[in-house]
Copies of this chain bind each other. A is one copy, B any other.
Amino acid sequence: MINVAILGYGTVGAGVYKVLDMNRETIARRVGEELYVKYVLDLRDFPGDPAQEVLTHNYNDILTDSDVMIVVETMGGLNPAYKFTKLALEAGKSVCTSNKELVAEKGLELRDIAKANHVNYLFEASCGGGIPIIHALDNALTADEIDAVTGILNGTTNYILTQMAEENEEFSEALKGAQKKGYAELHPEADIEGWDACRKIAILSSLAYGKYVSYKDVFTEGIKDIDTVDIAYAKSMGFKIKLLASSRRTEEGAWLMVAPKLVDGKNMLYHVNGVLNAVYVHGNALGDCILYGSGAGSLPTASAVAGDVISAARNHGRPIPSDWSDDALPLIPIDDVRNVFFVRFAGTADEAEAAFGKIEKVMIPEAEGEFGFFTTEMTEKEFRDAAEKSGKVIKAIRRA
């Protein structure tokens, strides 16, 4: 019998409790022993809920119980999750988490502490919910030099963009709908400003490249400025706008970027709609590989956490190898990153060509007094300079 404690009985924590219960037999067969939730830690009480019987309000009950082999941290936020995780690892307990803020901020340190204590710090659920991308990077795609990772890593923004494209909703309307359905929080900044996707691409890139990337160094643009005219332009040209979290490793250096981009129908990410997530990985032997699934939600996320619990149980006393080093990934300045831009322009074709060179106008009935065009590939700085020179750029969206 392997004893587990769950810290935080919110959406994900309760999901983990449920998954471990409903799939008890299968999990026992796969682990070779039964898993038992001995404690649930929460400040609240849950009368009538089965978790109430194992509920504690005192973390010390868990920390000092040497029977507890695995701690599930589904509290979210930096504190006290950081302190609790550190204490658990130092006490020789493995920790499995869905907490992307903590992993992005302190993951490397916590993984080192785990290693030093011969236990595991696992966080499959921190990126892409149920999608097994971290397992893939850590265990399966290990023979490759990965040189590109791009994901639709935030379900809320993908839902909003899908509603705007398919139901012709305004951004604010789509956001309200997402909040009503429980897909977006009351304070949705972390999603719509791109911060959530930013943390996730930093984590995935660190694992993929075996070099450390701080989420603070990721160029991040959200979707709150995307309007129905942008969507109409995109649609007219066979594109969709998706919030892509991307990183590339090239000869010249690496870069990371979260931004809304135009994606065409040949790209599998075009077909990822609603709250679903997907991650594209390119390896020098593997070629293209995409993992697709539920990026959020109680049970899909819990499935990933519970999968980690099983890995922790199977690997008790043996840190699972991982290619996350504290060696920093050298990044090129974002000014030097090259992109193709779709420009909405309020001047004449001559004015546009004076600043951007030869263009082909795109005109749609939804956009009066303006037209659109694609630039050639240019650096961010070249684009900014040209835009400034012309003085007539309304807005630009990068092409994927």
Contacts and interface: CB of A to CB of B under 8 A. Distances in A.
A307 B140 contact: yes
B292 A323 contact: no
Contact of A303 (B18, B124, B283, B299): B283
A369 interface: no
Interface centre among A144, A271, A284, A290 (most CB of B within 10 A): A144
A389 interface: no
Given A136-B135, A136-B136, A323-B30, A287 B130 contact: yes
Contacts of A32: 321
A291 B281 CA distance: 11
A143 B23 contact: yes
A155 interface: no
A132 interface: yes
Contacts of A307: 139-144
Interface string A282-296: 011111111111100
A29 B271 contact: no
A140 B271 CA distance: 24
A141 to B, nearest CB: 6
A347 B142 CA distance: 58
Copies of this chain in its oligomeric complex: 2
A285 B268 contact: no
Interface string A124-161: 10000011100110011111110000000000000000
A271 B265 CA distance: 9
B286 A130 contact: yes
Contacts of A306: 143, 285
A19 B321 contact: no
Contacts of A303: 141, 143-144, 283, 285-286
Interface stretch (A75-83, A184-192, A309-317, A379-387): A309-317
Interface residues on A, range: 35 or more
A132 B141 contact: yes
A210 interface: yes
Contact of A284 (B22, B136, B271, B293): B22
A140 B131 CA distance: 9
Contacts of A311: 139, 142
Given A285-B299, A299-B287, A23 B144 contact: yes
Contacts of A299: 284-287
A304 B336 CA distance: 35
Contact of A288 (B22, B143, B144, B293): B293
29 contacts: A19-B285, A20-B143, A23-B144, A23-B145, A26-B144, A26-B145, A26-B210, A30-B210, A30-B321, A32-B321, A130-B287, A131-B289, A132-B136, A132-B140, A135-B135, A136-B136, A136-B140, A140-B304, A142-B311, A143-B307, A144-B307, A271-B271, A286-B293, A286-B299, A289-B291, A289-B293, A290-B291, A290-B292, A291-B292
Shortest 9 CB-CB contacts between residues of A and residues of B? A143-B306, A132-B140, A289-B293, A135-B140, A285-B303, A290-B292, A286-B303, A285-B299, A130-B286
Interface of A: 15, 18-20, 22-23, 26-27, 29-32, 124, 130-132, 135-136, 139-145, 210, 268, 271, 283-294, 297, 299-300, 302-304, 306-307, 309-311, 314, 321, 323
